Amino acid sequence: QLQLQESGPGLVKPSETLSLPCSVSGGFINTNRFFWVWIRQPPGKGLEWIGSVHYSGTIHYSPSLRNRITISGDMSKNQFSLKLSSVTAADMAIYYCALNYDDGSGRFYWGQGTLVTVSS
């Protein structure tokens, strides 16, 4: 059973770059079986798809965030990360990492989420 855990700073200053790693246990991320996914949810609001990357190189970034985000993997640590640049108060949210299988099984594993606050 795959398990995911986000980590990173709970507080980021405006205009800085947010960096969030997602550690994966119970399996390896260097596989073509799933996408590495980031989703966020502002407090009291709905879910927003940030982006997803497939090990094969396929990238899907939200058009509204495309210019500010990078999703990448670190195979040596078995983790993938989100970088979001030039953050503002609008980026304050719970950030979830997830794995979305691409093999027809529909499996979708979620991390527990981490709250990121943007404040000076």
Q: Which residues pair with 82 in a beta bridge?
A: 20, 71
Pairwise CA distance, residues 113 & 98, whole Å: 9
Among positions 89-108, residues that touch other proteins (CB under 8 A) are 96, 104, 106, 108
Among positions 2-31, residues that touch other proteins (CB under 8 A) are none
110 binds other proteins, rule: CB under 8 A:
yes
Closest Cα partner for 97 from 115, 109, 83? 109
Among positions 27-56, residues that touch other proteins (CB under 8 A) are 39, 46-49, 52
For residue 89, which phi and psi values (nearest 5 degrees)? Answer: -60, -30
Closest distance of CB 36 from other proteins, Å: 13
**49/78 with CB nearer other proteins:** 49
Question: Strands 69-74 and 79-84, how do they pair?
Answer: antiparallel
- Angle CA 40–43–44, to nearest 5: 110
Closest distance of CB 108 from other proteins, Å: 4
Query: Using CB under 8 A as the criterion, which residues of the chain lie in contact with other proteins when the complex forms?
Result: 39, 46-49, 52, 60, 62-64, 96, 104, 106, 108, 110-113
